[in-house]
Amino acid sequence: MSRPLVLGVLNVTPDSFSDGGEHLAPDAAVAHGLRLTADGADLVDVGGESTRPGAAPVTPAEEAGRVLPVVAALVAEGVRVSIDTVHASTAEAAVDAGAVVVNDVSGGTADPRMLAAVAATGAEYVVMHSLGPAGAAVTYRDVVREVADELERRVAAAVAAGIPEQRIVIDPGLGFAKGAADNWRLLAALPAFVATGRRVLVGASRKRFLGALLPDGAPMAARDLPTAVVSALAARDGAWAVRVHDVAATRLALEVAARAAEGTA
């Protein structure tokens, strides 16, 4: 079983749902990015705008001011960085600063310049499925088929804009305009997404549908155990990468899953 890449989440925001404000200062953000790398992150996914339900939008200029010093400092330390943004100008500037992946939770729909901008940068591009923000109410007749079809449309748009297919990664968008049952169905169908031949990113970390498994009032960090289990299951099903807050727990879970699959000590 091949081990998926691990993207460590670095929110340079005051209002992210699980760690808002903890890493807003550039020094604190860089230090956390280095910790994620030491814990085994293959990439550090830097974002400057919260996607939690009800979060206030951030201008591209404000977002860039938060993330660009962090991206540049991490790259200078030899860290591989992805940029989590829906804004073309932020994506361009982050890649200029050394980021190698653009992770777009809008799938190219939020900024009409995004697809052409990514094509020009040469970066890898993560196309996430989202018909609305986290917490939005969307009803699906067949969530797996509808998500797969929309992702194919977004990939086609990206290719038409000049992004080579081999640079595109798909993400089913767990938690974005999806209920708990939708998320579990998408996870169960992960092999079907992998069977398309596209690389698949799974982003379940600390999301509400995992929190629902825990007692009321459980701290956010308690969601890291179910997240690590999801990471191991995603590895079994062929995911290219998982995006997590607790890198150490996920790396350990992936090591257990790999040894169990291979029968090695």
Nearest by Cα to 115 from 73, 80, 164, 78? 164
Q: Are 186 and 144 within 8 A, CB to CB?
A: yes
- Using DSSP's 3-state secondary structure scheme, residue 199 falls into strand
Catalytic residue among 154, 178, 199, 243: 243
DSSP string, 225-265: HHHHHHHHHHHHTT-SEEEES-HHHHHHHHHHHHHHHHT--
Up-side HSE of residue 58: CA atoms within 13 Å toward CB? 24
Q: Are 259 and 265 within 8 A, CB to CB?
A: yes
Up-side HSE of residue 93: CA atoms within 13 Å toward CB? 19
Amino acid at 73: A
Catalytic residue among 167, 207, 223, 251: 207
CA distance 46 to 102: 10
Structure token digits, residue 5 = 């890449």
198 in catalytic set:
no
CA distance 262 to 158: 37
Up-side HSE of residue 56: CA atoms within 13 Å toward CB? 8
Residues 6 or more apart whose CB falls under 8 angstroms from that of 122 comprise 95, 167
Q: Are 8 and 244 within 8 A, CB to CB?
A: yes
236 in catalytic set:
no
Nearest by Cα to 118 from 147, 152, 160, 150? 160
Active site residues: 207, 243
